[in-house]
Amino acid sequence: MRASVDKELCIGCGVCEAECPEVFRIADDGLAEAIEGELTEEVLEKAQEAKEQCPVEAITIE
Ligand code: SF4
């Protein structure tokens, strides 16, 4: 499973970073980005939680 952020939708609210900083961070452009590569079992659940809390549904995990 990999996480990605649609920067067209992201409003930079920071919820995903607060929920799961292992996977998401606010980049220099003020919008979120996800780490590259496969998510480990340890972070997957938190990443899913962050996805659910994103107010604009900008996060995809697949
Ligand atoms: S929670 Fe959603 S809108 Fe907020 S920073 Fe993360 S991806 Fe962007």
Q: pLDDT at position 33, please? A: 98
Which amino acid residue places its CA nearest to atom 4 of ligand 1? 13
**Pick from 12, 39, 40: which is nearest to 28 by CA?**
12
Within 10 Å of residue 29's Cβ, how many Cβ atoms? 10
Tokens of 29: 């452009």
| Predicted local distance difference test score (pLDDT) of residue 26 | 98
* pLDDT for the residue numbered 15: 98
pLDDT of 10-57, one tens digit each?
A: 999 999 999 999 999 999 999 999 999 999 999 999 999 999 999 999
Domains of the chain, earliest start first:
3-61 (3.30.70.20)
Q: What is the pLDDT of residues 36-47, one digit of tens each?
A: 999 999 999 999
What are the helix (H) ranges across 11-56? 15-19, 41-53
Residues with CB under 6 A from ligand 1: 5, 10-16, 24, 32, 54-56, 58-59
| Of 5, 62, 1, 2, nearest in space to 33 by CA | 5
pLDDT, position 57: 98
